[in-house]
Structure 1
Amino acid sequence: MRIHILALDEVFDTGLSTLLDTLNIANDLASSVDALSTRFTVTVIGMRRRIRTSHGFTVPIVATSRSESPDVVLIPALGAKMPETLELALKRKDVRDAGSLLRELAGAGTLVGAACTGTFVLADTSLLEGRSATTSWWLAPLFRERYPGVRLEESRMVISSSGFVTAGAALAHIDLALWLIRRSSPTLAELTARFLLIEPRSSQAVFAIPDHLSHADTLVQRFELWARCRLGKPFSLGDAAIATGSSERTLSRRLQAVVGKSPLSYFQDLRVERAIHLLRTSSDNVDSIAAQVGYADGATLRSLLRRKTGRPVSALRIPPWGQP
């Protein structure tokens, strides 16, 4: 399988390296799985003769005019991580030129994938219009604002949609590479994941910080502050509207526009965030935690946590990255 990694100037170092390393490990392990397993021929291409990563390292690339037509093209993240710097980066000429190339490749049947802020480069081509996609969870408000025609599901880690595949934030580059490997050999993908110490993960929800999203809009922020004081109480849209100084309709429309959720759904996300925090920082049992975040019993909370995060309570008890 011929894979091109389209690296733009100031590419996110970790994203580019992760794609290269994961695919290289898969190639190293392929013979132990099946002598006939697909090998991945990976070429780093770019729109210029030379590019630098966001940390200033020079990356050797192959000019697009000299490269063979690929089966897959992957777009790693740009080094710009915040909305303001990302919007400036998307205006660059090399990014616009990359968009023309992506439209050409997609038209020829090439599978196009992107991760993290690379999803914005892909979405800027209009190729994702009417399709489902994911992106970095903290950039979801900006993505919705720029690309209202894309069905954004930012809680998902990887989403494929008829010729396109998008992955979530930062280290979701690994999930993107494993998704691609899995298409050729599920066994090889599982072995590669074991070597990388990566467990299956379908959701970004466990990593997301809801109040970070709310800061994109003052009304949403007021709602978030009100909601956090009432997580153990029944939800009332009328009370929320009064507390935030808006109408129920305005509040609902604003939340949908900024975070892609109804007020009740966002309220439940805050409950989930609080429940996960309590699971990781207290010895309270699940029934006690359920009562603290407004649910009748532990069974209801267990079901909601699995649906929202894709993980059982036992896994959520363990803090990520070994934090105390």
Structure 2
Amino acid sequence: MVKPARQVHQIGVVLCRHHSLASVGLVFDTFRMANQLPGTHRFALSRISQDGQPVPHPDGLLAVDGGLADLARMALVVIPSLWAHGDAAVADQPLLIDALRALPPRVLVATMCTGAYLLAASGRLNQRRATTHWMLADGFHARFPEVQLQPAENLTHDGNFICSGGSLAAVDACLYVVQLMAGRDTARELARMLVTDVQRGPQALYAPPQGWRQHGDAEVRKLETYIADHHADSFTLDELAAQIHVSVRTLQRRFLAATGLTPIQYQQAVRIERGKDLLESDHLPVQEIAAQVGYQDRVAFGRLFKKVTGMTPAAYRQRQRRV
């Protein structure tokens, strides 16, 4: 019997001095582990730098296999996480950004966390859905307003561009690529070897609500504390405004500017966070948990919970028990 021909997928992993070695390592380990699975699909990885020379990284000199000319022959280009150095990497890698802009349409590009900065700087993400680490979403959106940023998502795929959230979401992106190239069964087997799921759910499961941001408005911080302490209660905007002696209109403007949320949205976010805590630690019925956080209507609580987290309260509880 003739053995099936082996399919080799060429993968170029971009390296620069700003990359997280943990993210780079996750990429290489995931695809190397995939190569241990039975089947015909194999992944050939190449390290690529802007000038084709070893990369002087803060953690040591990184060997490379080639330069930017090699990117066009790849089936997939991977850009690992840049920690919080996305802006610095963009300034440092103009030739790489040009090469990303010129990639043939057939080449997949996968970014890990802040690796999306380099792809966004090329303009290839304009008018496309993308994600990055939730904590850096505001800065990313300010720099690349034409990108349709989805910070609650752990993974996005728009056209030939795949983006993933926080650094450890590199595994999710690699599993997704394996599924695209080698099929779902192979991705499932690889996930089992990695002791993870093929898809771990939205980044919103791990990110605090949007309003959990630092700001300098002391009076809004006072209201945040009040809302957190009385999240299950009902109160009006007039009552909140009176606490800091401003009009309702001023309250709404200042609260939104400081937190990114309206006061009512902030209260909803606090309720959902408290609901998560109860679902993780208690065995109370969902109806009772909904009542404890301020919702007499279990359906309304469930609808809002799913909108924020991407899953129902029951599914969230089941998932946390598996973790």
1:167 to 164, 168, 192: 164
| Structure 1 Cα separation of the partners of residues 217 and 151 of structure 2 | 21
User: After alignment, is 129-138 or 142-151 more displaced?
Assistant: 142-151
In 2: Cα distance, 1:223 partner to 1:70 partner: 53
Q: CA deviation at 1:300?
A: 3.8
> Are residues 146 and 183 of structure 1, via their aligned partners in 2, closer, same or farther at CA, if it must alter by over 3 Å?
same
User: Does the alignment pair 1:60 with 2:58?
Assistant: no
Amino acid at match of 1:214: R
How much identity, in percent, do the aligned residues show? Answer: 25
In structure 2, the partner of 1:72 is 76
Amino acid at match of 1:231: H
Q: Deviations over 1:91-132 (max 9, x none)?
A: 5423x3321121111x55422221111112222222211111
Correspondent of 2:149 among 148, 152, 155: 152
> How far apart, in 1, do the equivalents of 2:96 and 2:177 lie?
21
Q: Does 1:133 align with 2:141?
A: no
State the Cα RMSD in Å.
Answer: 3.0
1:8, distance to aligned residue in structure 2 (A): 1.5
* CA shift digits 1:165-212 (9 cap, x unpaired): 110001100011011111121111111111111123230111112378
Counterpart for residue 116 of structure 1: 113
What is the one-letter code of the residue matched to 1:24?
R
Letter of the 1:271 partner, please give it: R
Could you tell me which residue of structure 1 aligns to residue 272 of structure 2? Answer: 272
Measured in 2, the distance between the counterparts of 1:157 and 1:134 equals 7
Q: Which amino acid aligns with 2:79?
A: I
Q: How many residues were matched structurally?
A: 304
Q: In terms of Rg, which structure is larger? A: 2
Structure 1 unaligned spans of 5+? none
Q: Secondary structure at the match of 1:18?
A: helix
Cα separation, 2, equivalents of 1:216 and 1:59: 39
Alignment of 1:208-223 (within 5 A): 208-210=207-209, 213-215=212-214, 218=217
Q: 1:57, CA displacement in angstroms?
A: 3.5
Residue 13 (structure 1) aligned with residue 21 (structure 2): yes
The range that moved more, 297-306 or 185-194, is 297-306
Q: Offset of 1:319 from its aligned partner?
A: 8.6
Specify the alignment match of 1:201 in structure 2.
200
Q: Is the alpha carbon distance of 1:317 and 1:290 closer, same or farther for their aligned partners in structure 2, counting shifts above 3 Å?
A: farther
Q: Secondary structure at the match of 2:42?
A: coil
Deviations 1:44-63 (A, max 9, x none): 11114112555x04322123
Among residues 139, 143, 152, which one is paired with 1:142 in the alignment? Answer: 139
Q: Deviations along 1:252-310, whole A, 9 cap, x unmatched?
A: 8637xx75x66544543332222112223445442332122221244443444344334
Residues 142 and 65 from structure 1, CA distance in 2 versus in 1: closer, same or farther, beyond 3 angstroms? Answer: closer
Instruction: Assess, with a 3 A threshold, how the Cα gap between structure 1 residues 234 and 62 changes in structure 2: closer, same or farther.
Output: farther
1:165 is paired with a residue whose SS is strand
Runs of 4+ in 1 over 6 A off after TM superposition: none
Match of 2:3 in 1: none
Is the contact between residue 112 and residue 164 of structure 1 (CA under 8 Å) also seen in structure 2?
Answer: yes
Instruction: State how far apart, in whole Å, the 2-side matches of 1:212 and 1:63 are.
Output: 44
Match of residue 189 from structure 1 = 187
Per-residue deviation at 1:314?
A: 2.7
Cα deviation, 1:20-39, whole Å, max 9, x if unaligned, reads 111111122142xxx4xx32
**C-alpha distance 211-304 of structure 1, shift in aligned 2 (>3 A):** closer
